[in-house]
C-alpha cells in the first residue's frame, strides 16, 4: 500500500510490512492492558497480566521498573516488537502519567502513528489533550480506541463530539457498540460488516465473529436482544448520516481519526483495532534531518537514539540506547559512524525487545526499534549512519518546571551520587545542574513524581539513600550568544550560573522578574526553555 499522495517509490517488502506506533492516553484509561492484549494476539505471550495484579495474577510484561509494579503505573516508555499476521508491529508504550511528559514527547519522535486510548466514561482528559498536541506538531496519524465499554460509559455521540471539538480532528466510526455497561454485548464492525460478540467468561478469549450481510440480515436479531437492536440501528443510521466515511489519506495526513469501541480487559475490540493498524496505519515514513531528510527505502543504514534506559538489568550496570532505524537494512556486527563524535562503532550485540525480555537482533529494517547496549557513548538525539554526516532533528529537551537540591545520606558518598546523577541526566530522566558557586547538584524535573522515582532508583541501583530539598531556584534557562557579552553576563550573575551535563551554560532563576531583567539588560543573549538534544 504505497502512499497515494506522493510519488515515492514502493518500499522494499520487509520495510513495507512494518508498523511502528505508540500508544498514548491519560493515566488509567487502560493503555498498559491494551498493550498486553496486543502481545497476546501477536502470539508473543500466552496469558495477559493485569496492571494491578493480585497475588498470583501475572504482572504485565511492559512494566519492568520496581516502582511501576508497586504503583500500577508505567513511568518509562518501553518498546516491543512482535509479528501480527504477515506484519511486524513495533509498539512503543509511553508513560501515561503527566509527570513524565518529556519521555513521552521524545518517544513520539520515533513512531509513524499513535493509538489514542480514551476511557468511555471520562472521554478526552487533560493528559490525552497534551499528548495529542504533540502528535499534532508532528502530523502523526492517529487511531482511536474507546475503552471500558463494558462499564457505564457516556453517550457515544457525546464522546465523538468531544474528540472533534477538543482535538479539532474529524472522527469516523470504524465500529459501533451495541449496548453499554452491563448491557454491552459487542460491536458491529462497520468496515467489514461483521457482528463481534463479547465473551465475559474468558478474558483471554478472542471474541466470536459473525459475518452478516447488511443491517437487515436476520442473523442480527438472533444474537442481539430486541431492545438493544432497535437503539443500535437508530444510532448507526444517525452516525452514517452525520459522520464522515473513512478516508485513508485524511488519516495519514493526521486530519481524521477512525474510532473503535471495546474493552481491553475482556480482550474485546482489540483484534479489530490491530487489523485497523495493519490496513490503514502508515508504513515507515521519511525522517526529518539536517542537512537532508532520510527516506526509509535508502540502501544505507541510518538510525537515531530517542531514549536511553540505564540499569534495565540491575546485575549489570548497563545502558541501553533505544534506536529507531530510519533507513536501510541493518545486520548485526555492522560498523556505523557515531555522527556526534565522528567515531566508528561496531554494533555487535544489538537487542530486540519483547517487553523486558530481549534477544539478539541479527538484523533490523527501517521502522524497527533496536536496543544498543553501551557504556555511555550514546545519548538522546545521537544519529548513527554509514558514514554520511546526517543529524536527525526535532528531538527536544525542555527546561524543568521543578528544581530541588540533592544530598547523599552519607556525605562521603558525594562522588557516587555524581555518577548516578550523570547517568540519569544522559538517560533524559532529569536535568542535572552543577552551580558555579557552592557544592552539590540541583536536579530539575517536569513533575513531582519524578523526584520520588529518582530517589527510589538511586537507592535501588546504587545503594545510595538520598534526600531532595527545596532549592532557592524555581526555573532554568539555557543561555547562548556572543562570547564577550556572555562572559560579562556570567561574571555579573555568578550566583545564578550553572552548567548542565553537556557543559552548556544555564541561568537559574528565582522569579520571572529575573528572566525579564536579563532580556532587558542583555538583548544580545538568547534565553531558551528548550534545546535540541544534540551537539
pLDDT in tens, 98-138: 555 567 778 888 899 999 888 888 877 766 777 777 777 77
28 carries a ligand binding annotation: yes
Domains, the chain, ranges and CATH? 13-280 (3.40.50.300), 291-392 (3.40.50.300), 399-532 (3.30.70.3280)
| Alpha carbon distance 310, 314 (integer Å) | 9
Is-above-0.85 flag for pTM? no
Q: Do the annotations mark residue 93 as ligand-binding? A: yes
Extended beta strands in 181-272, E state: 186-189, 194-197, 208-211, 256-261
The response to whether 311 counts as a known ligand-binding position is no
Asked if the peptide bond before residue 215 counts as cis, ω within 30 degrees of 0, the response is no
Cα separation, 532 vs 535, in Å, equals 8
DSSP string, 379-442: -TT-EEESS---EE---EEE--SEEEEEEESSGGGHHHHHHHHHHHHHHTS-EEEEESSSSSEE
| 42 assigned binding-site residue | no
Check whether 356 is labelled as a binding-site residue: no
The C-alpha cell that represents 99 in the structure block? 509527570
3-state secondary structure 62-91: CCCCHHHHHHCCCCCCEEEEEEECCEEEEE
pLDDT of residue 206: 61
Average pLDDT over residues 186-209: 74
Confidence category of residue 151, pLDDT binned at 50, 70, 90: confident
How far, in Å, CA of 195 to CA of 212, rounded?
7
Tell how strand 335-338 and strand 383-385 pair up: antiparallel
Q: pLDDT tier at 240 (50, 70, 90 boundaries)?
A: confident
**Cβ pair 204, 266 in contact under 8 A:** no
| Closest to 114 (Cα-Cα) out of 248, 247, 24, 33 | 24
The answer to whether the annotation marks 121 as part of a ligand binding site is: no
The grid coordinates listed for 90 are: 513495533
Distances (CA, A) of 436 to 99, 334, 404: 28, 42, 16
Q: What is the pLDDT of residue 43?
A: 66
Given its phi and psi angles, is residue 228 left (phi above 0), alpha (psi -120 to 50 degrees) or beta? alpha
The predicted-structure confidence for 60-73, as pLDDT tens digits, reads as follows: 445 545 545 554 44
Residue 475 to residue 534: CA distance in whole angstroms: 22
Establish whether 30 is an annotated binding residue.
Answer: yes
Is position 126 annotated in a ligand binding site? no
Does the pLDDT of residue 357 top 50, yes or no? Answer: yes
**Is 338 known to sit in a ligand binding site?**
no
Q: Which of 120-129, 273-282, 416-425 has the lowest mean pLDDT?
A: 120-129
Nine-digit cell string for 20: 511502528
Amino acid at each position: 500500500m504505497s502512499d497515494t499522495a506522493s510519488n515515492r517509490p514502493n518500499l522494499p517488502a520487509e520495510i513495507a510490512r512494518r508498523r511502528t506506533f505508540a500508544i498514548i492516553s491519560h493515566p488509567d484509561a487502560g493503555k498498559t492492558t491494551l498493550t498486553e492484549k496486543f502481545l497476546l494476539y501477536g502470539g508473543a505471550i500466552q496469558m495477559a497480566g493485569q496492571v494491578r495484579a493480585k497475588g498470583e495474577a501475572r504482572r504485565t510484561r511492559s512494566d519492568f521498573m520496581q516502582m511501576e509494579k508497586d504503583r500500577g503505573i508505567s513511568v518509562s516508555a518501553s518498546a516491543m516488537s512482535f509479528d501480527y499476521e504477515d506484519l511486524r508491529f513495533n509498539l512503543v508504550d509511553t508513560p501515561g502519567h503527566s509527570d513524565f511528559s518529556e519521555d513521552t514527547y521524545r518517544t513520539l519522535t520515533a513512531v509513524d502513528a499513535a493509538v489514542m486510548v480514551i476511557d468511555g466514561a471520562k472521554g478526552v482528559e487533560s493528559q490525552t489533550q497534551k499528548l495529542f498536541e504533540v502528535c499534532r506538531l508532528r502530523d502523526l496519524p492517529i487511531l482511536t480506541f474507546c475503552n471500558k465499554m463494558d462499564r457505564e460509559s457516556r453517550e457515544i455521540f457525546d464522546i465523538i463530539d468531544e474528540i472533534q471539538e477538543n482535538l479539532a480532528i474529524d472522527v469516523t466510526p470504524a465500529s459501533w457498540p451495541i449496548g453499554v455497561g452491563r448491557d454491552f454485548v459487542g460491536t458491529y464492525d462497520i468496515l467489514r460488516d461483521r457482528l463481534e460478540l463479547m465473551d465475559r467468561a474468558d478474558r483471554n478469549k478472542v471474541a466470536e465473529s459473525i459475518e452478516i450481510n447488511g443491517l437487515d440480515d436476520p442473523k442480527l436479531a438472533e444474537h442481539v436482544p430486541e431492545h438493544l437492536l432497535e437503539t443500535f440501528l437508530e444510532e448507526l443510521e444517525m452516525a452514517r448520516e452525520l459522520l464522515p466515511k473513512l478516508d485513508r489519506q485524511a488519516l495519514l495526513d493526521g486530519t481524521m481519526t477512525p474510532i473503535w469501541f471495546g474493552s481491553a480487559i475482556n480482550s474485546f475490540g482489540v483484534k479489530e483495532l490491530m487489523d485497523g493498524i495493519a490496513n490503514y496505519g502508515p508504513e515507515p515514513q521519511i525522517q526529518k534531518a539536517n542537512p537532508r531528510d532520510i527516506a526509509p527505502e535508502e540502501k544505507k543504514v541510518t538510525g537515531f537514539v530517542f531514549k536511553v534506559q540505564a540499569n534495565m538489568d540491575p546485575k549489570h550496570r548497563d545502558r541501553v540506547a533505544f534506536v529507531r532505524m530510519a533507513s536501510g537494512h541493518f545486520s548485526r556486527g555492522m560498523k556505523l559512524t557515531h555522527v556526534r563524535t565522528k567515531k566508528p562503532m561496531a554494533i555487535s550485540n544489538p537487542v530486540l525487545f519483547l517487553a523486558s525480555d530481549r534477544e539478539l537482533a541479527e538484523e533490523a529494517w527501517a521502522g524497527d526499534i533496536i536496543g544498543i547496549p553501551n557504556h555511555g557513548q550514546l545519548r538522546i538525539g545521537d544519529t548513527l549512519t554509514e558514514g554520511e554526516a546526517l543529524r536527525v532533528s526535532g528531538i527536544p529537551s525542555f527546561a524543568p518546571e521543578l528544581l530541588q537540591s540533592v544530598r547523599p545520606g552519607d556525605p562521603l558518598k558525594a562522588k557516587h551520587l555524581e555518577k548516578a546523577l550523570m547517568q540519569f541526566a544522559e538517560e533524559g530522566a532529569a536535568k542535572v545542574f552543577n552551580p558555579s558557586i557552592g557544592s552539590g547538584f540541583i536536579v530539575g524535573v517536569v513533575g513531582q513524581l519524578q523526584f520520588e522515582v529518582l530517589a527510589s532508583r538511586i537507592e535501588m541501583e546504587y545503594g545510595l539513600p538520598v534526600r531532595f530539598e527545596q532549592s532557592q531556584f524555581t526555573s532554568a534557562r539555557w543561555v547562548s550568544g556572543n562570547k564577550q557579552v556572555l562572559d560579562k553576563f556570567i561574571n555579573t550573575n555568578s550566583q545564578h550560573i550553572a552548567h548542565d551535563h553537556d557543559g552548556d551554560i544555564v541561568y537559574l532563576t528565582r522569579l520571572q522578574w529575573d528572566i525579564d531583567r536579563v532580556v532587558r539588560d542583555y538583548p544580545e543573549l538568547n534565553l531558551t526553555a528548550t534545546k535540541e538534544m544534540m551537539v
